[in-house]
Chain A
Amino acid sequence: NAGVMQNPRHLVRRRGQEARLRCSPMKGHSHVYWYRQLPEEGLKFMVYLQKENIIDESGMPKERFSAEFPKEGPSILRIQQVVRGDSAAYFCASSPRTGQNGYTFGSGTRLTVV
């Protein structure tokens, strides 16, 4: 049973480009969470999704960031018109149900904006 799969592992984008980060949850997991870790910081919650629904996006920046978890396929975190401050590690986690004990994190995508 594969774990939470994130790709790409590393992503380099020039300022103004779009970044698309993908997350395939563990089999049987219908809850997906995205977190961002800036250098020297802890992980910060961004968004919580279930299939085809955004449940909590209170941690998402108001502009340029969006997330989806379609009925089929991986969850996507999309960052439009990236800026240097978006450089960070983005972690996805999944769980089979509500309850934090079930969180399984992926290995993350390291976004570098040049």
Chain B
Amino acid sequence: DQQVKQNSPSLSVQEGRISILNCDYTNSMFDYFLWYKKYPAEGPTFLISISSIKDKNEDGRFTVFLNKSAKHLSLHIVPSQPGDSAVYFCAASGTDGSEKLVFGKGTKLTVNP
């Protein structure tokens, strides 16, 4: 049962344009959401997070939007740069006191020069 879903395995955008990566979740007990970026042969690197009490969090070129009613979040990267090319994972954690993260399968972003 996939509790965190990233339905687009890949996304290709032009340098300078906006990249929008989407993530849906099914567990209404999730209250904290994170995005990780992963290059080949490296571990995931934390990018940005959002608590369920907010609907937007911004950090430089990266903005995460949360729509709780739709159980949907998205990561916007503006402007996209070739160095942003990587696999992006959405992750969530819940209110059960557990420290574990539930990850989506990832979206491979390619930013073309």
Q: CB within 8 Å of B: which residues of A?
A: 4, 6, 31, 33, 35, 40-45, 48, 55-56, 58-59, 91, 93, 98, 100-101, 103-108
- Asked if A108 and B43 sit within 8 Å, CB to CB, the answer is yes
B11 surroundings in chain A (CB, below 8 A):
none
B98 surroundings in chain A (CB, below 8 A):
48, 56, 58
Binds A, one of B13-21, B62-70, B76-84, B99-107: B99-107
Q: Say yes or no: A91-B43 contact (C-beta < 8 A), given A56-B100, A59-B100.
A: yes
Interface size on B, residues (CB 8 A): 24
Q: Is B93 close to A, CB under 8 A?
A: yes
- Asked if B45 and A48 sit within 8 Å, CB to CB, the answer is no
How long is the Cα–Cα vector from A59 to B91 in the complex, in angstroms? 16
Q: CB within 8 Å of A: which residues of B?
A: 4, 6, 32, 34, 36, 41-46, 49, 89, 91, 93, 98-106
Residue of A nearest to B46 (CB): A103
- Asked if B89 and A42 sit within 8 Å, CB to CB, the answer is yes
- Taking A101-B46, A103-B101 as known contacts, 14 extra A-B pairs with beta carbons closer than 8 A to each other, sorted by chain A number, are A4-B43, A33-B100, A35-B103, A42-B89, A42-B103, A42-B104, A43-B103, A56-B100, A100-B34, A100-B49, A105-B44, A105-B45, A107-B43, A108-B41
B106 surroundings in chain A (CB, below 8 A):
42
